[in-house]
Amino acid sequence: MPWTQEYAPVGGSAGYSALVAAVPLAVVFVCLALLRLKVHRAAVLALGSALLIAVTAWGMPVGLAALAAAQGAAYGLFPVFFIVFASLFLYRIVVQGGQFEVIRASIAGVSPDRRLQALVIAFCFGAFIEGAAGFGAPVAIAGATLVGLGFAPLEAAGLCLVANTAPVAFGSLGVPIIAMAGAAGFNEPGLLKLSAMVGRQLPFVSLIVPLYMVLIMVGVRRSLEILPAIAACGATFALCQFATSNLLGPYLPDLLSSLAALAALLLLLRVWRPGEIYRFEHERGAPAETHGHSLRVIARAWTPYLALTAIVLLWGLPPVKAALNSRTLMIAVPGLDDAIARPAAAGAAAVPLAARFKLDYLASGGSAVLVAAVFSAFVCGLGLREVTRILGGTLYDMRYPVATIASVLALAYVMNASGMTTSLGILATRAGRLFPLISPILGWVGVFLTGSDTSSNVLFGGLQKSAAERLGINPLLTTAANTSGGVMGKMISPQSLAVACAATGMVGQEATLFRFAIRHSIALLSVICVVVYLQAFYLAWMIPA
């Protein structure tokens, strides 16, 4: 007989049970916000507390709890970590081959106008790096580039943090959404619908972010002078983000949207120029920067990422996808598959829960990225020894992130399998019609604590789904809201602040940057909260069927 979950095991009280179920989340908060531990250590401690509570308070057999943790950790390694690792490996190949510097210089040389440079580098280029690598690279690279061009450090860091809100949900080829699908138990069609739902929330913010960041930089009058460029950038990115997330899934929205916005801006600059070139006071009379690279050199530098886009698109073609999926293995987890059951509903029997591990070693997006990385090594002229060194270095540098990803997903699987997540969901339903307003805030808090939309999605994915189902709300809405709201917390997370300050020469001034960013974070979060609430009760047609 399968072990049956309980949702009020602590004194028979749903409230007390929910409070105890929240202890692992409280451990994360205390470790990160008060004790200032590294995130991988906080994740391991939270996992330990979840295992202890599942076994003692929920009465879950030790073997089942361990197997649930192992299944979650395995999902963290594949496909989540696999995609992150492959993306970073490709990025480092391009950097080592000298192509990334050409890409950076070609973008920085688009226009001498500092407002347009902010759009191109902080918004377009930052979004491109977020889609290709993520994990702090966009703010670090774009921020350092702006400082190198003459931007004040605080301004450069702040602009990059604000601009990075648009692409985070689809960063690293869609890892946050892939992780959410795993934590919430969505299958492949569910993953695509989740991608589509995020693509029907986040573009409302993406549309206004270019205007918002230029307003921060130069005020209303100077912003209106380049309104055509702002409109072209924001509208193109938002429309492309909507289209790609709904038609192609979570892998390519950042790459294609950033390239489309950049292309729209370049085309606009062929027929329109601002009436006055805006430069900083100390630069008046100084010559504008030029990169001196030929069109052929620039095209070669962009080849790896254009190849990545083509390969990911190829992987998604129905005949190719069917051929790759034919090699996918669905592995029943021994001792866990059908060994846990949900409580019996009125007039129905208890429902055993399947526990299967999907090993799509060919169909995975990470496999497509690895193919692009090998091709890029050839294009960049790197030998086998250099590629091997980059591979080993990337694996070594990812030792802490892999521990974090595996531990957080193990934590989520233990809480889901034991019934702790459902207990939290029952408590959350007391918010009633206000829950859609709260959903994005949960994601925002999660990213503020962990610095990662991926980790936030895993922490709160089960809670968002459980609460939505009990309130009669489509869980696609609330799980997507966790993702969309979470990106607004990225700009105020301690990790992001530390990266931004290090990249712009502001080490030790994280508090100053936080005070700058917090009001913008709350303002943009409010937009998402309103959008989600309207979609829940007045615009329900926007939710995928």
- pLDDT score of 191: 94
Return all residues near 510 (Cβ < 8 A) that are at least 6 apart: 494, 497, 498, 501
Whether the per-residue pLDDT at 131 is higher than 90: the answer is no
Query: By mean pLDDT, which of 4-18, 115-129, 289-303 is the weakest?
Result: 289-303
Query: By mean pLDDT, which of 150-154, 333-337, 466-470, 473-477 is the weakest?
Result: 150-154
For 317, which DSSP code? S
- pLDDT score of 148: 77
Three-state DSSP at 357 gives strand
Q: pLDDT of 147-204, one tens digit each?
A: 877 888 889 889 999 999 889 999 888 999 999 998 888 988 999 999 999 999 999 9
| Residue 54: band (very low, low, confident or very high) from pLDDT cuts 50, 70, 90 | very high
Q: Where are the beta strands (DSSP E) in 321-400?
A: 329-332, 340-342, 351-353, 356-359
- pLDDT score of 127: 92
| Residue 135: band (very low, low, confident or very high) from pLDDT cuts 50, 70, 90 | low
Instruction: Tell me the C-alpha distance between 343 and 215, whole Å.
Output: 54
- pLDDT score of 483: 95
Percent with pLDDT over 90 in the chain: 51
Q: Which of 24-38, 176-190, 303-317, 503-517 has the highest mean pLDDT?
A: 176-190
CA dihedral 296, 302, 140, 250 (to 10 degrees): 160
Q: pLDDT of 205-218, one tens digit each?
A: 999 999 999 999 99
- pLDDT score of 256: 94
Between residues 506 and 301, the one the model is more confident about: 301
- pLDDT score of 346: 53
327-339: average pLDDT: 93
Closest CA to 494 of 447, 460, 534, 526: 447
- pLDDT score of 378: 92
Query: Which secondary-structure segment (H or E) carries 3?
Result: strand 3-4
- pLDDT score of 73: 93
Whether the per-residue pLDDT at 287 is higher than 70: the answer is no
- pLDDT score of 345: 64
The pair of structure tokens assigned to 465 is 């789904």
Q: DSSP string covering 479-535, please?
A: HHHHHHHHHHHGGGSHHHHHHHHHHTT-TT-HHHHHHHHHHHHHHHHHHHHHHHHHH
| Residue 143: band (very low, low, confident or very high) from pLDDT cuts 50, 70, 90 | confident
Closest CA to 29 of 464, 447, 310, 506: 447
**What rounded mean pLDDT belongs to the chain?**
89
Whether the per-residue pLDDT at 286 is higher than 60: the answer is no
Percent with pLDDT over 70 in the chain: 97
Q: pLDDT of 409-468, one tens digit each?
A: 899 899 989 999 889 888 888 889 999 999 999 999 888 877 789 888 988 888 899 999
Whether the per-residue pLDDT at 492 is higher than 90: the answer is no
